[in-house]
């Protein structure tokens, strides 16, 4: 069993066209993500999966590995599946799906994500959560929230603030879902053949496809938040953090 990371990247984005190539401190965002993933000791290899020649040339330009995929994929996971299939992975290999808009991704979270998949061979899928500390994060629909059962398996993901606290004086921990996934290759093949679910459609969250079809998703809490670049204005926030990092 080996662990491979794939970073799905497309040029056309409604909120931020050309996002993977946006410069962050004079370096393309996709390069920041690739280099952080590559520094993880868990990974046998890292690939960028893209349908755009501009992104592929950029990746090859900084010495990375890229795989061209079709343009008609309904989600990043479907793009990852095509790329993983082309590399000839084994059914028990672990595929890590890293979002291309997380240039501050701590490499250590990859180890946190991989651990439950290594410990439990029956587990098909895993992801991460982070305890929300700011109400603005809770109310931001770009930040997906997750609730789990007592064993740490996902009950639901939503762009809304969940759980809803009925008593305005009540308090409970709320968690942000970090957009990084771990799949067993055999499950990924099955997952991508499933029809798009109703909840997946209304929330625009592909992980709900797994829940709607009865699959378990282990959600591991991490102390690290991942800052996503959703819109151009987010680049300034990321650059500020990078400048302050030794």
- Boundaries of every domain in the chain: 3-126+178-244
Exposed, middle or buried: residue 184 (CB in 10 Å: 0-12, 13-18, 19+)? buried
- pLDDT category at 169 given cuts 50, 70, 90 is low
What is the C-alpha separation between 81 and 95, in angstroms, rounded? 9
CA atoms within 13 A on the CB side of 165: 12
**pLDDT value of position 188:** 95
- pLDDT category at 226 given cuts 50, 70, 90 is confident
Residues 6+ apart with CB under 8 A from 94: 1, 2, 3, 4, 114, 117, 118, 182, 183, 184, 185
pTM: 0.93
Structure-derived torsion over alpha carbons of residues 58, 62, 64, 68, reported in degrees to the nearest 10: 10
pLDDT digits over 97-111, tens only?
999 999 999 999 999
Is the distance from CB of 52 to CB of 71 less than 8 angstroms?
Answer: no
Segment 202-214 shows an average pLDDT of 95
DSSP state of 141: T
Is the pLDDT confidence value at 168 over 70?
Answer: no
**pLDDT value of position 245:** 79
Residues 6+ apart with CB under 8 A from 229: 16, 19, 22, 24, 29, 101, 102, 103, 235, 238
The residue that leads in pLDDT, 169 or 115, is 115
CA torsion sign for 73, 74, 79, 82 is negative
Which of 27, 15, 23, 7 lies closest to 69 in space, CA to CA? 7
**pLDDT value of position 76:** 85
DSSP state of 195: P
Mean pLDDT rounded to a whole number for the chain: 93
What is the C-alpha separation between 39 and 64, in angstroms, rounded? 13
- pLDDT category at 114 given cuts 50, 70, 90 is very high
Q: In the structure encoding, which two tokens stand for residue 54, read together?
A: 């501009």
Considering the domain 3-126+178-244 in this protein, what is its CATH number? 3.90.550.10
Segment 72-89 shows an average pLDDT of 90
Q: Using a pLDDT cut of 90, give the percent of the chain over it.
A: 81
**pLDDT value of position 65:** 97
Q: Which value, in Å, is the radius of gyration of the alpha carbons in the chain?
A: 17
- pLDDT category at 170 given cuts 50, 70, 90 is low
Segment 206-212 shows an average pLDDT of 95
**pLDDT value of position 58:** 97
pLDDT digits over 17-38, tens only?
899 999 999 999 999 999 999 9
Segment 118-146 shows an average pLDDT of 93
Q: Tokens 């501050």 identify what position?
A: 104
Is the distance from CB of 56 to CB of 9 less than 8 angstroms?
Answer: no
Q: Using a pLDDT cut of 70, give the percent of the chain over it.
A: 98
Helix then strand count (H, E) for the chain reads 9, 11
Is the distance from CB of 78 to CB of 69 less than 8 angstroms?
Answer: no
Is the pLDDT confidence value at 204 over 70?
Answer: yes
CA distances, 89 to each of 147, 185, 239 (Å):
32, 7, 36
């Amino acid at each position: 069993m080996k662990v491979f990371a794939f970073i799905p990247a497309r040029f056309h984005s409604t909120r931020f066209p050309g996002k993977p190539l946006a410069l962050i401190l004079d370096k393309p965002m996709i390069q920041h993500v690739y280099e952080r993933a590559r520094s993880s000791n868990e990974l046998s290899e890292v690939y960028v999966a893209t349908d755009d020649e501009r992104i592929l040339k950029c990746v090859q330009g900084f010495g990375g590995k890229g795989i061209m995929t079709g343009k008609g994929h309904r989600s990043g996971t479907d793009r990852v599946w095509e790329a993983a299939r082309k590399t000839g992975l084994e059914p028990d290999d672990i595929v890590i799906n890293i979002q291309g808009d997380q240039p501050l991704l701590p490499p250590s979270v990859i180890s946190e994500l991989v651990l439950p998949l290594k410990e439990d061979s029956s587990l098909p899928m895993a992801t991460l959560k982070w305890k929300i500390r700011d109400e603005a994060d809770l109310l931001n629909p770009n930040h997906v929230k997750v609730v789990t059962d007592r064993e740490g398996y996902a009950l639901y993901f939503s762009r809304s603030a969940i759980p809803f606290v009925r008593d305005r004086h009540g308090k409970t921990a709320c968690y942000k879902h970090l957009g990084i996934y771990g799949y067993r290759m055999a499950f990924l093949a099955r997952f991508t053949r499933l029809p798009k679910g109703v909840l997946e459609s209304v929330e625009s969250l592909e992980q709900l496809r797994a829940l709607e079809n009865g699959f378990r998703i282990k959600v591991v809490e991490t102390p690290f938040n991942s800052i996503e670049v959703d819109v151009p204005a987010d680049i300034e926030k990321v650059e500020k953090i990078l400048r302050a990092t030794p």
